[in-house]
Amino acid sequence: MSTPSTSSSAPSPTTPVPTSTGSVPPPAPEASPGPMRRFLRRFRRQRLAMIALAFLVVLSVVAALAPVLSPYDPAATDVPRQFTPPGGAFLMGSDDLGRDAFSRLLYGTRISLVAPLIALAVAIGLGVPFGMLAGYVGGWIDWLISRIADTFMSLPAIILAIALVAALGPSTVNAMVALGIVYAPRLLRVVRGAVLVVREETYIEAARSVGLSGPRIMGVHVLPNIVPPIIVQLSLMFGFAVLAEASLSFLGVGVQPPDASWGVLLRRGFVNLYEAPWLIVPPGIAIMLVVLSVQLIGDGLRDSLGQEIRRQ
């Protein structure tokens, strides 16, 4: 191919290569949305999930405005008017001490939505670092961490929580910490699995060849790339935590009176089932709706996730 071109218009082999502009999106925005932004954008298009999210947001606002919205002080007792059926003065009836069920529901929302976050924080604090360590470093560290996690996972969650609370004393925070400890191994597993996949990616090898140290690679390159599956897992865990808090409080080892979470309300309703069967309904429905919403949000997140993995 070394014969020089003699025809009039053949391009020479040294024609400078024009910058290819074909596939970069046309003009202006100097910056483009990152993968997280696009993930959220896709999430926004999930109808059911957005409805569920809206519901939770509304619920949170309601909880924040509880003092404004509740007609009565939730702790105010009015024994003569105990067991009033719903309607009239008491929108959802009154309980065995004459307290307004509606007001208690509103205030209970605060605890039932916030307390699980404590559990999640503990789970993240334990599950993420150890999961990353186990997944990235491997070897005997992985073996050790995984065995410890396995041990914790084989204990029934509620029993473990009860045991921990029994040791530490009943309180909302203790119960939530216990829950967090119980959930940490599950999160650890998810994190470890995601790290195992990301670890094999070429850009990790590239980071090593550039000279980054292990910890730096974990923080800068591994962690941001495992965020989506972690978010999905956390959303589901939130739902479990709401249920678990309700169960623990129902059993009397979670939130303690006079604080009233939905679990506590359920308990009161259960105890007074014959006298006031209406008491058990609102908290039951509330729990169900919240958990359902969380599930739908989790599904939506997972569906928006899929495309991150697909390449162009």
Residue numbers at the binding site for other proteins (CB under 8 A)? 1-3, 5, 7-15, 17-25, 30-36, 201-203, 205-213, 216, 221, 224-225, 308, 311-312
Q: Which two tokens stand for residue 75?
A: 């702790």
Write phi, then psi, for 167 (nearest 5 degrees). Answer: -75, -40
Shortest spacing between CB 299 and other proteins, in angstroms = 21
Shortest spacing between CB 35 and other proteins, in angstroms = 5
Shortest spacing between CB 222 and other proteins, in angstroms = 10
Shortest spacing between CB 228 and other proteins, in angstroms = 10
Which CB sits closer to other proteins, 1 or 68? 1
Give one word for 86, left, alpha or beta, with left for phi > 0 and alpha for psi -120 to 50: beta
**Cβ–Cβ under 8 Å, residues 74 and 100:** yes
Contact partners, residue 21, CB within 8 Å, separation at least 6: none
Q: Cα–Cα distances in Å, from 232 out to 58, 115, 309?
A: 21, 19, 15
Which CB sits closer to other proteins, 8 or 154? 8
Shortest spacing between CB 1 and other proteins, in angstroms = 6
Cβ neighbours around 258 below 10 Å, total? 12
| Nearest of 218, 18, 259, 241 to residue 130 by alpha carbon | 218
Is the bond leading into 258 cis (omega within 30 degrees of zero)? yes
Q: Which two tokens stand for residue 86?
A: 């719903």
Shortest spacing between CB 20 and other proteins, in angstroms = 5
Which CB sits closer to other proteins, 2 or 154? 2
Which CB sits closer to other proteins, 42 or 81? 42
Which CB sits closer to other proteins, 31 or 68? 31
Which CB sits closer to other proteins, 224 or 306? 224
